[in-house]
Amino acid sequence: MESLVTTDWLARHLGAADLRLVDATLLDPALGRDARAEYVA
C-alpha cells in the first residue's frame, strides 16, 4: 500500500478495520492561526 492515497481510494476503504488516518496539517505561523482551537472546533 502507498503511504499517500487519493480521496477516491479513501472513500472506498473508509470501513476497513485496519485503516489508519494521520492528519498532517501544517499552519503557517505568520498567519496567526491557532491550530489547537481549529482542531477542537
SS3 at position 38: helix
> Residue 40: which region, alpha, beta or left (left: phi > 0; alpha: psi -120 to 50)?
alpha
More confident residue, 38 or 17: 17
The predicted model scores a pTM of 0.52
Sign of the CA dihedral with 30 first, then 36, 39, and 41 last: negative
Say yes or no to pLDDT of 1 above 60: no
Q: What was the pLDDT predicted at 11?
A: 96
Which tens digits make up the pLDDT trace of 3-26?
Answer: 889 999 999 999 999 999 888 888
Report d(CA 9, CA 23) in Å as an integer.
16
